[in-house]
Structure 1
Amino acid sequence: MGIINKLKTAIGLSRLDNSLDNTEFKAVFNTTVEEYAKHSKFFYTVAFAEVPAYNNVVKKWDDEKKGEFVLFLTNVIKNNYLGYNRGVKKESDEFQMASQMIHNLFRSKLKLSETIVVTIYDSFKKNVPEKEYNKMYWWPLAGFYKQIENNFKPVEAPVAILEILNDILRFKKDTNSYYYKDQIKLEEKIKAFLFANQGNEGSIKPTYFVGEDGFQSAANALLDQQKEEDRKLWYKLVTLAQKATGSKPTQKYLNEAKAIIDQLGADKFKKVTQEWFNQVINLKETVTTHTQVYNKSEYTYNITEFLTSLNSEAIKGFVWMSSWFYDNTTVQTISKLAERCFKKIPEKGPAAAGIGNACLYTLYASKGLDGIAQLSRLRLKIKQNNTLTLIEKYIDEAAVKLGISSIEIEDLAVDDFKLKSHQLTYVFEEYTAVLAITGTGKSSLKWFKPDGSEQKTVPQLVKDKFSAKLTKIKATQKQIDQTTAAQKERFDRMLRSNRTMSIEYVKEKYMQHGLLSFAINKVIFKFSNAQEEVLAIFLNNQWVTVAKEVIDIDKYKAATLWHPATSSTNEVKEWRQFLMTNQIQQPFKQAYREIYLLTDAEVNTRTYSNRMASHILKQHQYVTLAKGRNWRARLIGAWDGGDQDTAQLLMPEYNLTVEYWVNALNADDEFNATGIWNYVTTDQIRFVNTQTNDLIALVDVPPVAFSEAMRDIDLFVGVASVGNDPTWSDSGGLPTYRDYWQSYSFGDLSEIAKNRKEILQGLIPRLKIASVASIEDKFVVVKGKIRTYKIHIGSTNILMEPNDQYLCIVPDRSKKDNSENLFLPFEGDNGLSVIISKALLLANDDKITDRTITSQINR
């Protein structure tokens, strides 16, 4: 800073130096502090509108005098720093008031001379508190730079001003600082000013991704690989992307981007941005270990980072710009990017929520319905409550624009992939490939030779000449699998609503749809008109009743997905037997759906149910399950108000909200490192009228709504209960609550377990171990060579005869599902698979080699 010292000597700054002891400044400052103290005890953020001395005196000074006042305030800050650090009230208030005054003065456009600007900066450097000396950003340098920008054009800037700017660039930035992003943004502005000063005014300054993270180097390398003329346009786009703030882009922002993209070319834009997006999709979090000394003790902690906020903002900008495009590749990439960015980082939250929200906006704003289809898919994938609310808002807004319901727009948005009979056929000269849906989330890709025989591997001709086409086919297969899986979940939830549709609508949107017809042809519908209603399923290309009577659905006006809670026990049994006899595997539980009817105890308690009360659940698992079923639930912890929560399910079709109360299990300090309780206990279930906010008597709750709410909660208990964990008791658990574990592990069967028992009664006789396996009450009993075993049908835990000794076997998730080659009338029951696996293992207990198991058996 030699040039500044020379300048000070040349022009003489004695008048300015004396201003540090200016009695007028002292009086105004003291009055300001006194006046504001009458309005507030705290000076963290000062509302200057409430301070007459500032408004009537300071604001009326000329700009040069305001600049001199800034010099005075820097001295106030320096003199009160120690008191502020120690929490001394008077010194702390004066320190904060002086700091707030400088910030406020710098927000206005001041006309300052070179002399005053140089002197202010010199005062900043001299008055940095000793401990903060290497942190010049402690001062409001962004506001100070704004004054330089306001008063000096880059090409005419004096040498001293340029020296100040270069000096700021030399200061080390703290990457862990809360203000790091602001520091980098200031640095980029200064570089742009200096770039223009070097005779480049009007030229395009090279602009890169500036955040230091795993994305930066590869992204900038890709920029450098572009042609020189294209690079200039990319610099403009990066500059614009870095200005992406707020929750949505303005139309002006999008139009500005579009103008640059048009010059560059849409294909070039999409190629580069999609490569960047894929880099983020595949980016891994980095974990750094930090050590801090406090009170002579050393503390070590980890910080997990994904993207810097600077690069997140820039990527968000490019995601917004992509809303101009609606091709399949763009929509799919944006959807994958959203899923990655909402993936949770433990103890931190979503990896990059800002980018994720931008993706949701872009999917909503893109032309056509492909974006809405992806929002529908993401709604089933993402667990965060606020994100789900945003997705639902976008789907609702899109539906309003088309004048239809949100359910209808989701129907419209499902891609049929041009499937014919649930297949796609591709021709490669003399070879043929057939892509076919085989199940929910499953499909096959088979190859056929010129003579029509099947070939097990991809033909060499296809690999050599059609590799790009093959890649697209595999991408289509993946999309089809994702769509069938998502639609299974959507139809499953549709059973909650008891939605009635016209026959014409069902035929057009479901039965004639290339993809949805695969699921619809396996579910039972209730068809009705003014005279009658009938239940029917599609079998052998015709609609038939449970008695296999063929019906003409065109004679009916309406159709509803059948819910077994609306039928008699005998009718439900008949349909279950029909599925077994005709080997029909439904994509979700319908005929075999668990049914929950009102009990006498619930009639007596009137407005609440204790059916699912007094259970101990693993909190994280419970909350994840609840969110997965579209409930609003939150983690509770060891903080004020963190001892209880009410999970809620909105059922707008019935004007109901279902509530499930849980309480923290505060025993033996059972919370994790972030204070989240490991376990919760369950309490009442209530139904609330959303229009009146009154409790509803349980007898007045519609049967389908009641059954579906209870089914969800039974799932939460059935999966998250500590009684399902075979290792919980042995690994310590909570000693006080081991009786609960024992009673749940081997107690009465829930509705889910009763359903499982019914399936096992038809399944076990078809197993190779049928001669040594049977069902007795709550157990599958297996007679091994060494001992006899009782596998509980609910918890899947095991007791060994003759003394009911507990046998701990932890399921190996990596092994093959032993039920996958057995016919089941519905897809997906992990507990059933575990029971079958254990039964097959224990039937041949003399061949078990795992010592952790044999040591228990032979004990």
Structure 2
Amino acid sequence: MAATKKEVLDVPAPTIANAEFDELQRVVAELVTQALSKSYDTKLTELTAYQAVRAQDAAYQGRVALALATAMNQCTPADYRSGYALGELLGALLRGTLGLTEDDYLRLFQLYNLSFSTAVPSPYLWPYFPVALTLAQVARFAKKQGRLGQPLRDYLGQLLRYSANGQGDLIKIRLKTQEILNLGGENEAPTVAFVEGDPFGKQLNQFLAGLDPSALPVWASLLQRWQKATTGQPTAKLRKELDAATAAIGPDTVRQQGRAWLQLLADIPVVEQPQVHEYGNGTVYNYSTWDFVTESNATVAKGLVWTLQTVADRALIELLTTLTAKCFRKIPGKGPLAVGLGNACLLALSQNGLPGVAALARVRSKIRQTNTQETIARYIAQESAKLGVSPAEVEDMAVPDFGLENGRLEEPYGDYTATLTLADGKAEVQWQKAGKPLKSAPTALKATHADELKELKATQTQAQQTYSTQRDRLDRSFVEERRMPWPWFAQYYFQHGLTSELARRLIWRLYNADGTHQDALWVDEAWHNVHGQPLPEPATSTETVQCWHPLLAQPAEVLAWRELLERHQLRQPLKQAFREVYLLTPPEERTNTYSNRMAAHILKQHQFNSLAKLRGWRYRLMGAYDKGYESDAATLPLPVHGLKAEYWVSEVNADGEWNDTGIYHYVSTDQVRFTRHDEPVPLPEVPPLAFSEVMRDVDLFVGVASVGNDPQWRDNSGLAQFRDYWESYSFGDLGEVAKSRKLALERLVPRLKIGKVSEIKGNFLRVKGHHHIYKIHLGSGNILMEPNDQYLCIVPDRSAKTMGASSVFLPFEGDAVLSIILSKALLLMDDDKITDQTILRQL
């Protein structure tokens, strides 16, 4: 730990008379002896030797402090117990008032051996020395003196530059050093230094270094305050300081520069860094860390976001939305990438009215953390309370239309025209010149209209994201049985430039003032009933509107709606006419308070977790560290009905069946229950539509996350004790989703190319190829080959338009397994043309 004269400033030691030196040595020895021999319950300040020092004046205590530091300087690693005791004693003295001069403080720092020789400092570089407490003493001294002398300022500047690259306690040291250097410098720009361990810190330092001297003081004053963003939300004092500094610079200037910094944060790559740790017993542990921004600069970034919160425009809101999604990206073994910064972004969005609420609604669909989703819901509720409307209504109001009219926007660019359209849920841009279509954006415009093209691309992306968010929101809203006044529905759905593309392809129940109702669908620019007959304009008689659900109608009417959709080739944005209905069964009536319909399945836990969060359920991953005791159910609040749905699960505790972070790979399923105030509610008392939607969610979890859906699970490390389950699920009875899929296929297959060689038989789509007859299970999509039911493993490419099925008309979006079944059928009917060697070896 010893430092050379080149590593510390050459500061003369204070002159102490020999007699006093001997006395101080005796005092130090007595202090250390009592500190090392004291009981655990005895406080350091209760020692008689320490109290005797405290009874003396400040000058004497200052000399004792120097003597303690001198003794610490002479300690060797073997003297670690004495060194620790000396450090505690010196720290205790430094919490009081000491009579020290500037030269004394320099001498203290010299005795601390603060080595500035290493390129990257360690927060444990100075293990015993109370550097932070000494800086606090210097700060009080500087306030009293008005200004420090140049030698001490030079030393503190050296300490500031070095600690700027550190983490942990070094961050506090750096901030306190900055504070001291800024005392008594009213006519100078504040001293500010940022950690250069990431591009953000480097750019901030470069920005300050390149400023005009006249602009430096106000910018440095603002950036200095960003380092104080250590709390969850800005304090009233910090909020006032940030706003005042912003006003001094100019809101437009801060907004423009802040946009560049936010873009940088959004663009900084998240880099995985492989790490290896070797234990003493020879065990090697391989893991990864993920680099984004340093701990210190994440705090600074929070200050940036808090500053921009009050000056945000549309462009800043979109950048904040992008950065929010990035911050809550899940990192293996860590969790969210940057929770503090992400929460700052959410706060900023929540303070920007309806545009901010719209951004919160969009980003919520990308976030899987339950507590964060609850935070977003709370922010939306706060905004709804301000406006005096419900949270659902404020989300309606917040949906932007992006200039679309009936899902279409035309933008002229000189001789060219760009048309943005929402077609079948996809935002696409087509180009024309003089009425003639072009394949892509004209190259000439990239030079003359670069900013406009960038804005068009951003609008396309945001429109797509907003459409998907609102579609998913509608899909989850059936359980609420929400009714809207007709004028509200007309304004925020039917006539809205974006959501009209959803509303006009869905069936609606129109309630009249006299209590009657009629169901209607917008077809060929007019409302029609289930028989395809035109209806009078609803606005004259309709009072409220509800999104239709097949549970509200008789089976014959449901089938009639399906026929109408197929006849007009109308693809619904979500499953509505073909939606599965779950009615209470006799076994559920007997069990009364729970359902075993979805019990005894084996699910992939991470996939189940993602699906549950996507559908608004709350779930906490179970790990080997807690045996699952703290989280044994996924829950869904049903506030409209005063209920909570529960899907019970338990860990599959098999040897090695957990990942590096201790999370179980698999869970087994159990009951579905409904509770009110934590008490079970009899299933017959649960509203039928709520029961149906909850059971549909649970069926979705099983239908997607079950190991039975994995064509490779049996052959690639699937648990042997669950092979029977895999077989029974892969080729067994159909659930409600699969039954609905079967009904759709019975109508689709005869009209398709595969119709000549295919038929629905039992639970399978039976396809006749040139080499074999294939049976594709309608639940799992897995395949058996006749005559001996040999298993055929075909893994679909889920990232591509698989095997030609994308051109097949489906009356609804969102059933990936249905598309996979059709894709496999199209492939296998021409099995003589298959070239994939993995498949050919099985044939």
Confirm whether residue 557 of structure 1 aligns to residue 543 of structure 2.
Answer: yes
Quote the offset at 1:324 in angstroms: 1.6
- Secondary structure, aligned partner of 2:807: coil
| Per-residue Cα deviation, 1:749-801 (whole angstroms, up to 9, x for no partner) | 11111111111111111221211111111111111101111111111111111
Q: Provide the residue aligned with 1:658 in structure 2.
A: 645
Cα 1:139–1:569 change in 2 (3 A) is farther
Quote the offset at 1:429 in angstroms: 3.9
Aligned-partner residue type, residue 320 of structure 2 = I
Confirm whether residue 237 of structure 1 aligns to residue 222 of structure 2.
Answer: yes
Q: Provide the residue aligned with 2:828 in structure 1.
A: 842
Aligned-partner residue type, residue 526 of structure 1 = R
Matches of 2:50 and 2:558, distance apart in 1: 79
Q: Provide the residue aligned with 1:362 in structure 2.
A: 348
Which sits farther off after the overlay, 337-346 or 503-512?
A: 503-512
- Secondary structure, aligned partner of 2:309: helix
Q: Provide the residue aligned with 1:719 in structure 2.
A: 704
- Secondary structure, aligned partner of 1:745: helix
Q: Provide the residue aligned with 1:465 in structure 2.
A: 448
- Secondary structure, aligned partner of 1:557: strand
2:133 to 138, 143, 151: 143
Matches of 1:558 and 1:166, distance apart in 2: 70
Q: Provide the residue aligned with 2:666 in structure 1.
A: 679
| 1:646–1:662 contact (8 Å) kept in structure 2 | yes
Which sits farther off after the overlay, 9-18 or 383-392?
A: 9-18
TM-score, normalisation: structure 1 = 0.88
Cα 1:216–1:103 change in 2 (3 A) is same
Confirm whether residue 318 of structure 1 aligns to residue 304 of structure 2.
Answer: yes
Q: Provide the residue aligned with 2:636 in structure 1.
A: 649
Q: Provide the residue aligned with 2:118 in structure 1.
A: none
Q: Provide the residue aligned with 2:602 in structure 1.
A: 616
Aligned-partner residue type, residue 637 of structure 2 = L
Q: What is the total number of aligned residue pairs between the two structures?
A: 825
Confirm whether residue 667 of structure 1 aligns to residue 654 of structure 2.
Answer: yes
2:404 to 419, 443, 446: 419
| 2:138–2:180 contact (8 Å) kept in structure 1 | no
Quote the offset at 1:17 in angstroms: 6.2
Q: Provide the residue aligned with 2:464 in structure 1.
A: 481
Q: Please give the residue correspondences for 1:291-302 in structure 2 after superposition, counting only pairs within 5 Å.
A: 291-295=276-280, 297=282, 299-301=284-286, 302=288
Cα 1:381–1:10 change in 2 (3 A) is same
Q: Provide the residue aligned with 2:508 in structure 1.
A: 525
Cα 1:703–1:205 change in 2 (3 A) is same
| 2:147–2:183 contact (8 Å) kept in structure 1 | no
Quote the offset at 1:498 in angstroms: 0.6
Cα 1:71–1:776 change in 2 (3 A) is farther
The gaps in structure 2 that reach 5 residues or longer are: 116-121
Matches of 1:13 and 1:642, distance apart in 2: 69
Matches of 2:93 and 2:381, distance apart in 1: 45
Matches of 1:540 and 1:509, distance apart in 2: 21
Q: Provide the residue aligned with 1:751 in structure 2.
A: 736
Which sits farther off after the overlay, 546-555 or 610-619?
A: 546-555
- Secondary structure, aligned partner of 1:650: strand
Matches of 1:576 and 1:537, distance apart in 2: 12
Q: Provide the residue aligned with 1:331 in structure 2.
A: 317
| Per-residue Cα deviation, 1:169-214 (whole angstroms, up to 9, x for no partner) | 6978995xxxx243144235436756889xx663114634314124
Cα 1:298–1:315 change in 2 (3 A) is same
| 1:339–1:378 contact (8 Å) kept in structure 2 | yes
Quote the offset at 1:101 in angstroms: 6.4
Q: Provide the residue aligned with 1:542 in structure 2.
A: 526
2:20 to 12, 15, 18: 15
1:403 to 368, 374, 388: 388
Cα 1:122–1:746 change in 2 (3 A) is same
| 1:35–1:52 contact (8 Å) kept in structure 2 | no
Q: Please give the residue correspondences for 1:40-119 in structure 2 after superposition, counting only pairs within 5 Å.
A: 62-64=57-59, 67=62, 106-107=94-95, 112-114=100-102, 117=105
Confirm whether residue 768 of structure 1 aligns to residue 753 of structure 2.
Answer: yes
Aligned-partner residue type, residue 187 of structure 1 = R
Q: Provide the residue aligned with 1:345 in structure 2.
A: 331
- Secondary structure, aligned partner of 2:273: strand
| Per-residue Cα deviation, 1:676-727 (whole angstroms, up to 9, x for no partner) | 11111111111111xx321101111111111111111111111111111111
Cα 1:270–1:532 change in 2 (3 A) is same
Cα 1:455–1:99 change in 2 (3 A) is same
Matches of 1:400 and 1:531, distance apart in 2: 31
Cα 1:761–1:117 change in 2 (3 A) is same
Cα 1:546–1:84 change in 2 (3 A) is farther
Confirm whether residue 856 of structure 1 aligns to residue 839 of structure 2.
Answer: no
Cα 1:525–1:21 change in 2 (3 A) is farther
Matches of 1:26 and 1:600, distance apart in 2: 81
Matches of 1:54 and 1:289, distance apart in 2: 52
Quote the offset at 1:378 in angstroms: 1.3
Confirm whether residue 570 of structure 1 aligns to residue 556 of structure 2.
Answer: yes
Q: Provide the residue aligned with 2:480 in structure 1.
A: 497
Matches of 2:195 and 2:536, distance apart in 1: 67
Aligned-partner residue type, residue 556 of structure 2 = N
TM-score, normalisation: structure 2 = 0.89
- Secondary structure, aligned partner of 1:10: coil
Q: Provide the residue aligned with 2:790 in structure 1.
A: 805
1:510 to 472, 489, 493: 493
Quote the offset at 1:848 in angstroms: 1.0
| Per-residue Cα deviation, 1:824-846 (whole angstroms, up to 9, x for no partner) | 11112111111111111111111
Cα 1:203–1:571 change in 2 (3 A) is same
Q: Please give the residue correspondences for 1:377-396 in structure 2 after superposition, counting only pairs within 5 Å.
A: 377-396=362-381
Confirm whether residue 262 of structure 1 aligns to residue 242 of structure 2.
Answer: no
Cα 1:5–1:273 change in 2 (3 A) is closer
| 1:135–1:171 contact (8 Å) kept in structure 2 | no
| Per-residue Cα deviation, 1:468-508 (whole angstroms, up to 9, x for no partner) | 22222222122111111111011111112111222222122
Aligned-partner residue type, residue 511 of structure 1 = F
Matches of 1:629 and 1:80, distance apart in 2: 62
- Secondary structure, aligned partner of 2:272: strand
Q: Provide the residue aligned with 1:447 in structure 2.
A: 431
Which sits farther off after the overlay, 535-544 or 784-793?
A: 535-544
Quote the offset at 1:614 in angstroms: 1.1
- Secondary structure, aligned partner of 1:687: strand
Matches of 2:190 and 2:503, distance apart in 1: 58
Q: Provide the residue aligned with 1:604 in structure 2.
A: 590
Aligned-partner residue type, residue 525 of structure 1 = W
Which sits farther off after the overlay, 56-65 or 589-598?
A: 56-65
| 2:178–2:192 contact (8 Å) kept in structure 1 | no
- Secondary structure, aligned partner of 1:770: helix
- Secondary structure, aligned partner of 2:383: helix
Matches of 1:533 and 1:339, distance apart in 2: 42
Matches of 1:605 and 1:133, distance apart in 2: 61
Aligned-partner residue type, residue 780 of structure 1 = L
| Per-residue Cα deviation, 1:204-236 (whole angstroms, up to 9, x for no partner) | 146343141243334544555555544443333
| 1:208–1:235 contact (8 Å) kept in structure 2 | no
> Identity over aligned residues, as a percent?
38
- Secondary structure, aligned partner of 1:436: strand
| 2:165–2:196 contact (8 Å) kept in structure 1 | no
Quote the offset at 1:439 in angstroms: 2.5
- Secondary structure, aligned partner of 1:743: helix
Quote the offset at 1:541 in angstroms: 2.6
Matches of 1:386 and 1:654, distance apart in 2: 22
2:577 to 568, 591, 596: 591
